Amino acid sequence: MGYQKGSITLSARQDIPLLLQVLHSRFITHDQLFEFMVIDCIELKRKSFNWRVLRLVEGGLLTKNCARPLTPSPVYSLTEVGALMLSEHSPVLDSPKEGAEMSSAHVLHSIGLTGLHLSLARQGVLRNWESEVTIRARNELTNSGYAKDYDAVVTVDVCGRRTRFALEYERTPKKARDYVRIRTLMEEETGVQRFLYVVPEAKLADFILECFAGTTAVVLVVLTADLNRPFAEIRARDAGSGSVIPILDGL
């Protein structure tokens, strides 16, 4: 397969998983990407990883973005060619153009969400992370989609128990009327029965809890910092009752 800067042969064992991780993260820092490769035992040496990423950038499959002052680390996203190369491995609804959606808010959301993904992966409790990319493809291409495009649908095994929930990472508040619409969708959802909002600070948590007060759906709210603790020790606020409960009691 020819590219603008020459030809490149992709390794199914190392290149494809790396590119898929970028696809599902949308934007991911250099350090985050390396940690995923280590956790999955795909690339264990930093020097080899650095060489691989540089090769994929120079081959036109990855874009290396400078996201200062958001993060000092390089941030990677998939090029249009990179997306096309992954069509045999994952549904790709649209081919992202280089620099597409490269807003500060979008980059920070992607990096923050990837941080939550890594927090669960580090603990060894994560069994499946269905990304928003996969969810959106499922919703648009099948008859068995979800009520909305969640940030992720997550499956964890904790204390001998498996639980599955939709995760929404909310860095900034939406309008109250938007939450009314989302609340209706969650209350009518049949594809997943539990929902977890992860927010950076207490005032936003209070606002979301107010919008979901009395909901018939199982909606829990936790702070971003809580996801760095052992999952079984996290305490969450239940939107339906307003009470603080162990997260496993709600999920």
Q: Where are the domains of the chain?
A: 2-102, 124-250
Q: How many CB atoms lie within 10 A of CB 122?
A: 12
Question: Across the strands, what pairs with 240?
Answer: none
pLDDT at 98: 42
pLDDT at 67: 75
Q: Which CATH number fits domain 2-102: 3.50.50.60, 1.10.10.10, 3.30.70.270, 3.40.50.10210?
A: 1.10.10.10
pTM: 0.91
Residue bearing tokens 């049949």 = 190
Question: Across the strands, what pairs with 63?
Answer: 77
Q: What is the mean pLDDT of residues 48-72?
A: 90
Q: Of 20-29, 61-70, 181-190, 237-246, where does mean pLDDT reach its minimum?
A: 61-70
Cα 183 from Cα 212, distance rounded (Å): 7
